Amino acid sequence: MRVLVTGGAGFIGSHIVAELLAAGHEAVVLDIRPPGAAVPWEQADIRDAQAVARALAGADAVCHQAAMVGLGKGFADATDYVGVNDLGTAVLLSAMAAAGVRDLLLAGSMVVYGEGRYDCPRHGRVRPGPRTPEQLDAGRFEPPCPQCGEPLVPGTVAEDAPPDPRNVYATTKLTQEHLAAAWARSTGGRAIALRYHNVYGDGMPRDTPYAGVAALFRSALAAGRPPRVFEDGGQLRDFVHVEDVAAANVTALAALPAGPPGALRAFNTGSGEPHTVGEMAGALAAAHGGPEPVVTGEYRLGDVRHVVADSSRLRAEFGWRPRVGFEAGMARFANAPLGGVPAR
């Protein structure tokens, strides 16, 4: 199978290219930077329609990873996020429609859910609203039950949870899925969105406002600084190694031709094991040899408190299983090389 990987020189994209080649597939990369592997490369922005059309020549499927990632620095980034993520996806889908390429694997994200799943002992499943600055300033980080104000019990979130994007980046990732679904209905194409949870591993972008929290902690340790843990460190996340994410992509690509035409299907892609941000910082610091993390009580509006994947659909339908456990993965990442810039 010949697969065009947009963003194939980026953090996750480069691992997908390596996994494709190891599985005997042919990879083509479209990226503004050169890929690490010796594969055909179209140097272009994803919004360059002519370059996208050239890169699609002979492709059987597209693995769309190109995106502007992370929470960014504020709403001033909105035009960049929408331009790269949503206009870029529209350009790609238009070119695929014209070229007759009908199989798409989209890099989705757990950020489309907003907060994860919560249950109230009195009221059952509830959906807490965004946390207010007043709550966060007072150190009340746990979202209360919207009906009785009592503490909630977090759980795993499944693909049928209603979306509730809480920031610009999350909104663009949900829009990508809507665009892909519209493309599939219009063309009879088949699309899968892998909703990545907190991906980490070799080549992760180093310390920038757009990097994930794992990269920020790892960059601090490399500079001899303690990782700065926001809130109280009790935020639950699902940390999944980039090698497992790459394997999930190749597994899903193989399943695409057997999927239903004219539809998009979403699959959570995570370890299924909840760990706190504080645990992650502590594991990295211990494996790196210090310094110990510092819990700051700071917060970022738009961050959610808990979100952990239920990845049983991906496991049941495709037989995918994560291979890198939390302890082993963090021990490796503590001294792994970081990339230069975030994937786009």
Tokens encoding 60: 């059987």
Task: Indicate the DSSP class of residue 130.
Answer: P
Task: Indicate the DSSP class of residue 165.
Answer: -
Residue 188 contacts residue 100 (beta carbons within 8 Å): no
Amino acid in position 132: T
| Residues 20, 25, 29, 35, CA torsion sign | positive
- How far apart, in whole angstroms, are the C-alpha atoms of residue 17 and residue 66? 13
Annotated catalytic, 169?
yes
- How far apart, in whole angstroms, are the C-alpha atoms of residue 87 and residue 49? 11
> Measuring CA to CA, which residue among 46, 160, 24 is closest to residue 93?
46
Residue 132 contacts residue 162 (beta carbons within 8 Å): no
Helix axes 326-333, 277-288, angle to 10 degrees: 50
Q: Which of 169, 196, 200, 210 is catalytic?
A: 169
Q: Which residues pair with 238 in a beta bridge?
A: 274
> Measuring CA to CA, which residue among 141, 154, 173, 204 is closest to residue 339?
204
Q: Which residues pair with 199 in a beta bridge?
A: 240
Residue 281 contacts residue 227 (beta carbons within 8 Å): yes
Phi-psi region of 204 (alpha: psi -120 to 50; beta: other; left: phi over 0): beta
- How far apart, in whole angstroms, are the C-alpha atoms of residue 273 and residue 275? 7
Active site residues: 169
